[in-house]
């Protein structure tokens, strides 16, 4: 059993739910169900600079790049104190029991995005469990799952000089009866500053389209215990993971096919308009839930400059992982 620090992101208005724009492509219409780790990191850096200044932010970034002192997972749904994790991408009906291995169950499991904590712990310890699939969530007992919806709204943009209007569409994610949670780890030297920065970020808003009120939340700091195996031989990523060249070489040459399951995602986009809208270089990452062999590294991944050296902009790609067998 291992204890993790977590941050819970919850709505300030329970009757309205938590609304966010979680960009997942080049269009404003696309929105995701996960608050990715690089999105949290970007917002955290903005808040840290607002509180402590640019010099202090550069010192923090130097420590993160050189010593990997900060680990952040992506944020996943939470409902009625049931924590949901990304579905392990190797998961199949053969690892579960309680239902016949039918084409229907296979399709439900394949399309699901999240798995409850108790079932997640069984899977990473290779314990066979009964399961239920409901609305994209897999769990052991029949739970009241979070209601997460994505929709598109029409919005109006007004030119400040000509006053001409332009209609555009924007996608947003709504979680009605739950919250989001993510885990973090940082050097004790920075812990208080990290939490202060997260409080400011919550006031400002997670994700995009904050100027219209999306992403504004309250946060709560807690700990949670995860039943990890004592002698793992694989990892599962709870964050986006951008490997170094050495890590890619090891994966290509050493990874047994039956021990690996992953999906790739391209991340890019623009910087915050408040610091100048700059197009970032695109990077490819392993998605949350990717299952990879254990490697001889304490921490996996990299923090990459996605702009020129004159004005570096960093993409956070360190892997927040949990051991599994």
In angstroms, rounded to a whole number, what is the distance separating the alpha carbons of residues 215 and 205?
4
Name the phi and psi angles at 279, rounded to 5: -75, 125
Nearest partner of 50 among 206, 200, 265, judged by Cα: 200
The pLDDT value given to residue 321? 95
The pLDDT value given to residue 188? 93
The pLDDT value given to residue 276? 65
Cα–chain center distance at 261:
18
CA dihedral 134→122→292→302, nearest 10 degrees, is: 80
The pLDDT value given to residue 296? 80
DSSP state of 258: G
Q: Which two tokens stand for residue 316?
A: 């956070």
In angstroms, rounded to a whole number, what is the distance separating the alpha carbons of residues 129 and 119?
7
What's the whole-model pTM score? 0.88
Averaged pLDDT, groups of 10, the chain, 325 residues long: 94 83 76 92 94 96 95 95 93 64 70 93 88 87 80 77 77 88 96 97 88 86 95 94 91 76 87 69 93 86 85 92 93
CA dihedral 104→108→109→113, nearest 10 degrees, is: 170
The pLDDT value given to residue 158? 74
Cα–chain center distance at 133:
22
């Amino acid at each position: 059993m291992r204890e993790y620090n977590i941050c819970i992101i919850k709505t300030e208005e329970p009757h309205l739910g938590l609304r966010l724009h979680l960009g997942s492509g080049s269009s404003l219409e696309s929105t995701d169900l996960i608050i990715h780790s690089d999105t949290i990191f970007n917002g955290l850096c903005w808040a840290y600079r607002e509180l402590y200044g640019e010099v202090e932010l550069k010192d923090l970034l130097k420590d993160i790049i050189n010593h990997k002192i900060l680990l952040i997972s992506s944020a996943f749904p939470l409902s009625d104190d049931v924590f949901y994790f990304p579905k392990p991408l190797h998961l199949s009906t053969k690892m579960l029991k309680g239902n016949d291995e039918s084409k229907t169950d296979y399709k439900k499991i394949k399309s699901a995005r999240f798995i409850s904590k108790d079932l997640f712990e069984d899977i990473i310890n290779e314990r066979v469990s009964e399961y239920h699939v409901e609305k994209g969530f897999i769990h052991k007992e029949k739970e009241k799952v979070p209601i997460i919806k994505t929709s598109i709204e029409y919005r109006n943009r007004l030119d400040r000089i000509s006053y001409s209007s332009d209609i555009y569409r924007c996608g947003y994610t709504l979680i009605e009866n739950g919250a989001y949670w993510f885990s973090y780890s940082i050097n004790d030297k920075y812990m208080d500053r990290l939490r202060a920065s997260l409080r400011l970020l919550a006031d400002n808003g997670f994700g995009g389209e904050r100027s219209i009120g999306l992403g504004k939340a309250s946060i709560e700091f807690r700990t949670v215990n995860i039943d990890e195996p004592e002698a793992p031989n694989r990892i599962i990523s709870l964050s986006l993971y951008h490997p170094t060249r050495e890590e890619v070489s090891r994966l290509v040459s050493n990874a047994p096919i039956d021990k690996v399951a992953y999906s790739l995602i391209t991340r890019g986009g623009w910087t915050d308009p408040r610091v100048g809208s700059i197009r970032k270089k695109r990077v490819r990452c392993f998605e949350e839930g990717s299952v990879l062999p254990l490697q001889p590294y304490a921490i996996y991944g990299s923090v990459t400059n996605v702009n020129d050296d004159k004005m570096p902009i960093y993409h956070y790609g360190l892997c927040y992982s949990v051991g599994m067998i």
